[in-house]
Amino acid sequence: MSNTPRELAQIFDLTWSEFLRIEGTENATEDNRKLLAARIVTIERSGEYDGEAISDAALIYMRALKAARELSVSPSNVLAFPSRSASASFGPERVKAMAAALELCLNELPLRVPSDARDTLTSAILRAASEGETDALKMMDAGMRALSARNVSHKT
């Protein structure tokens, strides 16, 4: 069942706050707000109604978009939805796989995952995708390995 406008607004607020917490308040631009809102609506219209899954997918999209901008890659070519090019680095299938990978990671962890652990997972999944990985299970593995390495380094 579709989300109400109020539920979509709550998803937006949660995702926006998380995006700014991770990427910094210098990214609090009107363009980014519009992109996030449009992405949330697009994800919901594609048939995803779970608020957390929508938020996760939208957050990955925004972080990938920011990374593309930093690499001076045209975001419209990298993150088009639907894909304008078969060679798009983060087309809809890759973004869907990244969201699935994050979901798989979160399903393996305790219910309350600290935000820094979630950041580690997201960064590793983005890195794997940017290196050409398309398989959600392999991206999940990259995320879990990064989290494990992070935990080991924090203990030493």
Quote the tokens at residue 84. Answer: 């304008």
| Total number of domains constituting the chain | 1
pLDDT digits (tens, 9 = 90+) for 43-53: 888 888 889 98
Domain with 87 in it: 5-155
Angle subtended at Cα 51 by Cα 129 and Cα 22, rounded to the nearest 5 degrees: 50
pLDDT digits (tens, 9 = 90+) for 133-148: 999 999 999 988 988 8
Q: How far apart are the C-alpha atoms of 9 and 142, rounded to whole Å?
A: 32
DSSP H/E element including 37 = helix 30-45
| Eight-state DSSP code of residue 26 | G
Whether the pTM exceeds 0.75: the reply is no
